[in-house]
Structure 1
Amino acid sequence: MKKLGICVCYNHKNYGSQLQSYATTAELKRRNIDFEIIRYKKKITPQLLMKYLPKLFDPVFINDRIIENYQKKIMMKFHKQLKSDNEIRSNAFDKFSQERFKNLSPVYYGYESLQEQSKKYTAVMVGSDQLWSPSGINSNFYNLMFADNNTVKISYATSFGVAQIKPKYQKIYKTFLDRLNFISVRENSGKKIVDSVSSNNAEVVVDPVLLLDDKQWLEEIPNKRLYDEPYIFAYFLGKTPEYRQAVTEFAKKKGLKIVTEPHMDSYNKADEGFGDYTPFDIGPAEFVNLIRNAEYVFTDSFHGSVFSVIYRKQFMVFNRYSDNSVSSKNSRIDSFCANYGLSERRYGGDIFAVESRIDYPSVLEKVNEHRNSSKAFLDKALECLK
């Protein structure tokens, strides 16, 4: 029996990570592909510790992992209620993960076990999300270096998370990219990276959540209205108070309530006092429904923007990072807006520009064309499993 092993962040407590992982599995089920999510845990060895030592001097890794985790732990100590609230949110993520992800491999402990067990797969595929970020590229999991030479190796909509790869990393990237049989990426900048450092070429495909249209999402996540009154959904991960002030001004002028999800990654001072409703019992399904039933959406989130388009919302997207930030991930928003004719939805200082109507027939025509070409890519890549 031919089987596909997939490497995705199915249990990462992030709306985008879980929803794109779920969309990937939903698409595979629609294709009647026999698959399972590969579960891998590292064994802590002296060799592994030595391998990761250089990361302590990498600004991307320090910003993405060490500082963020340290800040979160400190803030939880000072904000006891936030710790309790985050446990409620965490449980909502766990519930979605446990209910929605059933096709799981045994846990492979240690790299040798991963290599050996991976031989049972006809093909392995790394999913979307920022799984090729320089901060984690040495793990040899999401780059599929563990897979046997005879195993078909596929990437679907995988993201580098950055617009450029520093010269010191390019040899590492070339090594694993050259081994892949089918490469697709989520951003235009990702294609440029692959085409420049590898002998292979990459195709830009839709994020997995766009493989399903609004009707198919309704089949996967039935509609449930969480608030009876009209509302704005404001979903900000960044720390810019001016964005929240602008949304508050807009809401007052329109006579609408604001629903928001505060303190997503860690304590965020800008979230204090912002919004009329700040629920914490929101898992990925509830997140989809908050967008689905909103009058307007304001966000600095990539997937907040994507679902806004799926549900034809009047939305505005904000930059979460400054363009010169070493950890900037603005490139995915850049690609999304450029590819579908949505550049005017970028916030430029006028919050009321959100009222300019979006030409959704034109936008969704582009999305549908891209969806079809992305499915054609999967047709070719998954041919080995028939």
Structure 2
Amino acid sequence: MKRVGIITFHAAHNYGSMLQAYALQQVLLNMGCDCEIINFRTRRQKVFYYPPFCHGRWIGMIRRLFLYWRDVIPLMKKYYLFESFLRNKYILSEKEYQTVYDLSNEDFQYDIYLSGSDQIWNTSCLDFDWAYFLPFVKRGKKIAYAPSMGPKPFIEVIEENGRNIKKYILSFDSISVREQGTADRLLMLSGVCAPIMLDPTLLLPSHYWEKMVVRLPLVKEDYIFLYMPSYDERVFMKAEMLSNRLGMKVVVSQICEWAGHEWRKKHNFQYLLSVGPIEFLNLCKNAKYTIGLSFHLVVFSILLHTPFIVIDGMNDSRIRSLLTLTKLESRSMSFSMTDFSPYFSPIDFKIANELIANKSQECLKWLRRNII
């Protein structure tokens, strides 16, 4: 039995990050591997995902506590839902590591080190660390499964990092990436031509995720689920237009500094903040529509057969690859469009899921060939 250590964004309080880490571990366990996630959590990452009123010095914390006074309890619940998922859904290494130095000083006994998936190779990402290129590995096989360099790799991964990337990439035994944009950027920076693999969440069939959804809907009435990891007012405006067209409220699970202002006052927007990864699946599954700018929102809308609209999706390398694979390019709506009529046409999820299943078999074969 091969011992596999995974390193990824497993501890980022981001729905997609945690669900993809969970999926990858489950896939490897299903293959018969003795697999654990290396519990690498940088101080920067930990602090970033604290509730907003827990940041900075005590004076700033008190100010933010007043700003978020009505959201303190749901935001604390949200934080602990993510931490609970981390503790209860993963098999983690016994120790936690905060730096590459910590990793380098550990005598790991893995046969295989697997880096991936998510945006772990996006050097502009707040969670980024060179540890995700496996420089700490002393012995054992080094594999990259579907890491991403982000929505726009030619902008976010700058030339100055190219020398380091090339050095680390050439030490890998096998490399694959998640989308064409990352493949193109990697080829330019290192000369390595990497095959494109599916995000780990797509390697598990739909019924697997259906079982994780709590049976009762979190929201009782019809609703539109809006999700994007970072705020873009134009996307909120699109969601408001769709809400007015359908006569449904918009449910939002994210909050930032802006949330105490204009959009919190809208009668057709509901903020449901105590939402962890499993609750996210519930909101995706039971929505009448999902709308936003998020790769994993598109993933789970397809897997859970929920009609979706992705704003400006074809300008995001990750989303474009997924929509092209599933022949759902028409579900991307540009910022300039105002007519929603084309998006009310039914989606043939059967075809989309068959295309994913075919690609999934190719990805699983690649993993078996490189791991077993």
Q: Distance in 2 between matches of 1:370 and 1:236?
A: 26
Which residue, 316, 321, 326 being the options, matches 1:340? 326
- SS of the residue aligned with 1:160? coil
- Give the CA deviation at 1:364: 2.0
Q: Residues 120-135 of structure 1: matches in 2 within 5 Å?
A: 120-135=109-124
Q: Residues 310-325 of structure 1: matches in 2 within 5 Å?
A: 310-319=303-312
- SS of the residue aligned with 1:35? strand
Distance change (3 Å), C-alpha of 1:97 and 1:344: same
The one-letter amino acid of 1:196's match is M
Q: Distance in 2 between matches of 1:277 and 1:111?
A: 41
Q: Residues 219-298 of structure 1: matches in 2 within 5 Å?
A: 219-263=211-255, 266-268=257-259, 269=261, 271-274=263-266, 275-298=268-291
Q: Distance in 1 between matches of 2:98 and 2:340?
A: 50
Aligned to 2:177: 185
- Give the CA deviation at 1:335: 1.9
Distance change (3 Å), C-alpha of 1:271 and 1:302: farther
Report Cα offsets for 1:228-262 as digits up to 9, x if no partner.
32222122344333433333333333232322224
Aligned to 2:88: 99
Task: Give the TM-score, by structure 1 length.
Answer: 0.81
Which residue, 68, 89, 94 being the options, matches 1:80? 68
Aligned to 1:141: 131
Distance change (3 Å), C-alpha of 1:254 and 1:110: closer
Q: Distance in 1 between matches of 2:8 and 2:43?
A: 20
* CA contact 2:326–2:356 (8 Å) conserved in 1: yes
The one-letter amino acid of 1:163's match is P
Aligned length: 351
Q: Distance in 2 between matches of 1:214 and 1:370?
A: 14
- Give the CA deviation at 1:220: 4.1
RMSD of aligned alpha carbons: 3.0
- SS of the residue aligned with 2:309? strand
Aligned to 1:38: 38
Aligned to 1:48: none
Task: Give the TM-score, by structure 2 length.
Answer: 0.84
Aligned to 2:294: 301
The one-letter amino acid of 2:277's match is P
Gaps of 5+ in 1: 45-64, 324-329
- Give the CA deviation at 1:86: 2.3
Larger mean CA deviation between 334-343 and 125-134 belongs to 334-343
Aligned to 1:27: 27
Aligned to 2:356: 367
- SS of the residue aligned with 2:175? strand
The one-letter amino acid of 1:359's match is D
- Give the CA deviation at 1:119: 4.0
* CA contact 1:89–1:281 (8 Å) conserved in 2: yes
The one-letter amino acid of 1:278's match is Y
- SS of the residue aligned with 2:305? coil
- SS of the residue aligned with 2:132? coil
The one-letter amino acid of 1:379's match is R
* CA contact 2:5–2:114 (8 Å) conserved in 1: yes
Distance change (3 Å), C-alpha of 1:109 and 1:186: closer
- SS of the residue aligned with 1:36? strand
Distance change (3 Å), C-alpha of 1:225 and 1:84: closer
* CA contact 1:36–1:105 (8 Å) conserved in 2: no
Q: Percent identity?
A: 26
Aligned to 1:6: 6
- SS of the residue aligned with 1:158? coil
The one-letter amino acid of 1:23's match is A
Q: Distance in 2 between matches of 1:219 and 1:80?
A: 34
Aligned to 2:201: 209
- Give the CA deviation at 1:290: 0.8
* CA contact 1:233–1:298 (8 Å) conserved in 2: yes
The one-letter amino acid of 1:99's match is N
Report Cα offsets for 1:240-286 as digits up to 9, x if no partner.
334333333333332323222241x5544564234443211111101
Which residue, 322, 328, 353 being the options, matches 2:342? 353
Q: Distance in 2 between matches of 1:14 and 1:198?
A: 30
* CA contact 1:178–1:199 (8 Å) conserved in 2: no
The one-letter amino acid of 2:301's match is S
Gaps of 5+ in 2: none
* CA contact 1:5–1:35 (8 Å) conserved in 2: yes
- Give the CA deviation at 1:318: 1.2
Report Cα offsets for 1:20-76 as digits up to 9, x if no partner.
1111111122122101211246799xxxxxxxxxxxxxxxxxxxx8xxx99x76683
Distance change (3 Å), C-alpha of 1:221 and 1:42: closer
